[in-house]
């Protein structure tokens, strides 16, 4: 396969797609795509990487290199099509990764943006600013509910299913939940951010001084990208793996 700036060209469905590979030097990947830093943090991989490749670093920190590379590619390339098949061994680390992202969204990033939005609303103090406040509060409630359902219902169910698989046991027959329920109702949580951005860009005249609004907008763009990759991992990696596992454990 030919290299281009450290990237592989992958050929899938007659389309050329770019993707990182386990043989790439991780420090170089970070320099090309700084978003990798966030991925390292969520996998618990510290910096000081030397010239080690992805697979060497992952092995040192007991992270599955093929899962790491898949998460990296989904997060970097919107057109990348993840092929996880029956990679049941991804489940524990993928759930830890997604749970760590949940904590980051609800405990760090969204409260940070909320603080800045509240400061802006105080500075503006008019009806349009109050509409923004209302919309953002509604958004926070929606995200919290979404994440709570995933943590307490979906991820818990998947953990139990995976533990049955490891013990070669049948799941408790009283559990009527299945991953299709989640898939059918799994909304994205980034689209409301578009409304918040539009209010800030189109509808509230910039009468305040200083860079606060630009700072909020940059944070919203970053959060939106992060949430988009997160939802893709849930829809395109987690759900298909669990569907395979359900079929294997409990064939109809
Ligand atoms: Fe999630
Ligand atoms: Fe989700």
Ligand nearest to the CA of 188: 2
Percent of the chain with pLDDT over 90: 78
CA of 105 to the centre of ligand 1 (A): 9
pLDDT tens, position by position, 83-97: 999 999 999 999 999
CA of 152 to the centre of ligand 2 (A): 12
CA of 139 to the centre of ligand 2 (A): 14
pLDDT band at 13 (very low <50, low <70, confident <90, very high): very low
In angstroms, the Cα distances linking 186 to 142, 146, 167, 239 are 12, 9, 29, 10
Query: How many CB atoms are closer than 10 A to CB 103?
Result: 13
Tell me where in the chain the CATH 1.10.3910 domain(s) lie.
3-76
**Residues in contact with 232: Cβ distance below 8 Å, sequence separation at least 6, in sequence order:** 74, 82
Per-residue pLDDT, 5:
42
CA of 230 to the centre of ligand 2 (A): 7
**Joined tokens for residue 25:** 């030097």
pLDDT band at 8 (very low <50, low <70, confident <90, very high): very low
pLDDT tops 60 at residue 39:
yes
CA of 145 to the centre of ligand 2 (A): 10
Lowest mean pLDDT among 123-127, 195-199, 204-208: 123-127
pLDDT tens, position by position, 177-190: 899 999 998 988 88
CA of 49 to the centre of ligand 1 (A): 29
The stretch 216-224 carries a mean pLDDT of 96
pLDDT tops 80 at residue 174:
no
Per-residue pLDDT, 202:
95
CA of 122 to the centre of ligand 1 (A): 31
With helix as H, strand as E and coil as C, how does 59-105 read? HHCCCCHHHHHHHHHHHHCCCCCCCCCCCHHHHHHHHHHHHHHHHHH
Alpha carbon 35 to chain centroid, angstroms: 12
CA of 210 to the centre of ligand 1 (A): 34
Share the mean pLDDT of the chain.
90
Percent of the chain with pLDDT over 70: 92
Q: Which CATH class is domain 3-76?
A: mainly alpha
pLDDT tops 80 at residue 75:
yes
CA of 233 to the centre of ligand 2 (A): 9
CA of 234 to the centre of ligand 2 (A): 6
pLDDT band at 18 (very low <50, low <70, confident <90, very high): confident
């Amino acid at each position: 396969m030919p290299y281009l700036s450290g990237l592989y060209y992958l050929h899938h469905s007659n389309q050329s797609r770019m993707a990182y590979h386990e043989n790439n030097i991780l420090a170089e990947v970070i320099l090309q795509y700084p978003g990798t830093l966030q991925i390292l943090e969520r996998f618990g991989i510290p910096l000081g990487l030397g010239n080690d490749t992805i697979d060497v670093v992952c092995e040192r920190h007991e992270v599955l290199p093929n899962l790491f590379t898949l998460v990296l590619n989904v997060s970097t390339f919107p057109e990348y099509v993840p092929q996880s098949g029956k990679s049941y061994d991804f489940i524990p680390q993928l759930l830890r990764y997604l749970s760590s992202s949940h904590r980051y969204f609800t405990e760090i990033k969204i409260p940070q943006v909320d603080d800045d939005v509240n400061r802006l609303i105080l500075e503006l103090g008019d009806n349009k600013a109050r509409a923004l406040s209302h919309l953002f509060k509604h958004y926070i409630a929606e995200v919290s509910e979404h994440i709570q359902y995933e943590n307490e219902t979906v991820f818990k169910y998947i953990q139990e299913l995976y533990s049955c698989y490891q013990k070669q046991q049948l799941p408790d027959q009283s559990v009527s939940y299945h991953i299709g329920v989640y898939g059918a109702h799994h909304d994205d949580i980034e689209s409301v951010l578009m409304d918040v951005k539009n209010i800030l860009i189109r509808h509230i005249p910039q009468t305040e001084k200083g860079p606060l609004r630009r700072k909020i907008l940059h944070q919203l763009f970053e959060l939106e990208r992060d949430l988009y990759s997160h939802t893709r991992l849930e829809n395109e990696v987690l759900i298909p793996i669990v569907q395979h596992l359900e079929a294997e454990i409990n064939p109809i």
